[in-house]
Amino acid sequence: MRYAVLGTGMVGHTLADKLIAMGHEVRMGARDGDNPKAVDWAEGKGPGAGHGSYADVSEWAERIVFAVNGAKLLDVAVAATKEATADKTIIDVTNPLDTSNGMPPTLVPEMSNTTSAGEQLQLKLPDARVVKTLNTMNHLLMVDPGRLSGSHDVFLCGDDEAAKADVIGMLSEFGWDDPIDLGPLAAARGMEGLMPFWLRMWGVVGSADFNYKIVRN
């Protein structure tokens, strides 16, 4: 499968590394097609790896991961272009965090409460098939659930069932056996709304190695 991973931060690197390790072809996308972090990443990962602008890697890819600054997500969506993302499964792992007033960050008002980053991304890219997932945990856990002992949960939501099946397949490759499907993309409001709680819990636990576990009969 050809994956574009948009974002050169720690999440982009972690997901791109894992996808390459699983045998996929991956191109890392950035605002600058010659972003040194993306170039370095691609050079170290063999013939299946590459890099380029958001639009170029999206055009090449079959699936596109959005792992960019959540507050700037919609700028990245415009840069990736409607045409290059049309009919493709988008894996949105972002959180719309505003860090402009320091820590802890707040949710961007225009992307929270009565809407979400995931929904705004879908509105910006109407022909793409956006699925929200993996945003509720630390990046290392995203691709290695065995870092924690016992069972714990990953969530997903989206309006396109086939795209969700694609994402469930990818999550299975990462080691997630039983993801919880929260239904339509509007459920991203709740998934992203967990962030203020997660940030508070981070301070309490003293490490990012923790996750949510849903207990039910």
Ligand X SMILES: NC(=O)c1ccc[n+]([C@@H]2O[C@H](COP(=O)([O-])OP(=O)(O)OC[C@H]3O[C@@H](n4cnc5c(N)ncnc54)[C@H](OP(=O)(O)O)[C@@H]3O)[C@@H](O)[C@H]2O)c1
Name the site residues for ligand X (rule: CB under 6 A).
Answer: 7-12, 30-31, 35, 67-70, 72, 75-76, 93-95, 97, 135, 138-139
Distance CA 163, CA 132 (A): 10
Smallest gap from residue 175 Cβ to ligand X (A):
17
In the complex, the smallest distance separating the C-beta of residue 87 from ligand X, rounded to whole angstroms, is: 24
68 or 162, CB closer to ligand X? 68
Taking CB atoms, the residue at the shortest distance from ligand X is 9
Query: 124 is written with which tokens?
Result: 């910006």
Closest distance to ligand X from the beta carbon of 127 (Å) = 22
Residues 191/115, Cβ–Cβ less than 8 Å: no
Q: How far apart are CA 154 and CA 152, in angstroms?
A: 7
Nearer to ligand X, 161 or 167 (CB): 167
- In angstroms, what is the minimal distance from the CB of 217 to ligand X? 30
Q: Is the dihedral of CA 110, 28, 16, 164 positive or negative?
A: positive
Q: Which is nearer to ligand X, 68 or 157 (CB)?
A: 68
Cα atoms in the Cβ-side hemisphere of radius 13 Å centred on 163: 28
Question: Using CA atoms, how far apart are residues 207 and 136, in angstroms rounded to an integer?
Answer: 15
Please state the length of the chain.
217
Minimum distance, C-beta of residue 24 to ligand X, in the bound complex (Å) = 19
Q: Which residues have CB under 8 Å from 215's CB, separation 6+?
A: none
Closer Cβ to ligand X, 44 or 161, answer by number: 44
Q: Please identify, using beta-carbon distances, which residue of 88 and 139 lies nearer to ligand X.
A: 139
How far apart (Å, rounded) are the C-alpha atoms in residues 145 and 140? 8
